[in-house]
């Protein structure tokens, strides 16, 4: 075996690493080879000096680093503003839902509705208004449901407003009754804003899907 292998083994022993050979074999070679013994002795001296040499003085930069830090982490103010806007939207949805439920209550309980509608029609109108109130409250409680509720609510709003405008033009509905539908419009607009604010950029969405698939 060449001396280079024994010198590598000697260096490994100095570093506390596996020798790659029995220690007794290394010791016999060092006892019989003055060149390798001298090389190992010099390597041990260099290693000892490197380990025992004092570390260079480093200035204390704590105060300078702390002073250079921003008073406020980037994005903190924007995140707080976003949370405030989100809370305002959810509170507005609760207010609209409460008003919508107020419209539903008389029709559901007494069977009376605007324009002297028959009892069953009054109950149907009350059920619709109650369902809308529940939808608004659900999105206020769980904003991520906003995109899923939009297709139905938006379609219902468009058809209802179109027929209301037509009925107003034909004199078939009173203006005060038509104004009630503005609650629905306000609720749908609020849900649209919640859904828009909760959207994720396409790149982030693709990464999230890839991570979920990788985890599965």
Query: 42 or 47, which is more confident?
Result: 42
Looking at residue 195, its pLDDT comes to 92
Place of tokens 């509720």: 149
CA distance 66 to 57: 20
Interval 141-197: pLDDT, tens: 999 999 999 898 999 889 888 888 888 888 877 777 777 788 888 999 999 999 998
Phi-psi region of 142 (alpha: psi -120 to 50; beta: other; left: phi over 0): beta
Judge whether residue 206 has pLDDT over 60: no
pLDDT at 96: 92
Residues 190, 85: contact at Cβ < 8 Å? no
User: Could you tell me the CA-to-CA distances from 203 to 147, 198, 200, 209 in Å, in that order?
Assistant: 19, 15, 8, 10
Q: Whole-prediction pTM value? A: 0.52
- Least confident among 29-33, 58-62, 175-179: 175-179
- Confidence check: pLDDT of 129 > 90: no
- pLDDT digit string, tens, across residues 68-124: 777 666 667 778 888 899 999 999 999 999 998 888 777 677 655 554 456 666 777
């Amino acid at each position: 075996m060449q001396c280079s292998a024994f010198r590598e083994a000697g260096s490994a022993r100095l570093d506390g690493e596996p020798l790659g050979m029995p220690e007794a074999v290394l010791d016999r070679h060092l006892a019989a080879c003055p060149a390798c013994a001298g090389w190992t002795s010099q390597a041990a001296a260099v290693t000892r000096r490197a380990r025992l040499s004092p570390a260079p003085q480093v200035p204390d930069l704590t105060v300078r680093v702390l002073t250079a830090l921003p008073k406020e982490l980037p994005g903190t103010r924007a995140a707080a503003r976003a949370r405030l806007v989100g809370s305002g939207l959810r509170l507005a949805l609760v207010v609209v839902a409460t008003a919508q439920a107020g419209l539903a209550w008389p029709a559901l309980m007494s069977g009376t509705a605007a324009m002297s509608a028959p009892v069953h029609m009054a109950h149907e109108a009350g059920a619709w208004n109650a369902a809308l109130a529940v939808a608004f409250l659900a999105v206020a409680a769980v904003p991520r449901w906003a995109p899923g509720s939009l297709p139905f609510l938006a379609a219902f709003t468009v058809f209802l407003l179109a027929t209301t405008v037509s009925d107003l033009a034909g004199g078939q509905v009173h203006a005060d009754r038509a104004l009630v539908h503005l609650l629905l419009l306000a609720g749908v607009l609020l849900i649209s804003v919640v859904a828009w604010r909760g959207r994720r950029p396409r790149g982030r969405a693709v990464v999230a899907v890839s991570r979920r698939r990788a985890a599965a």
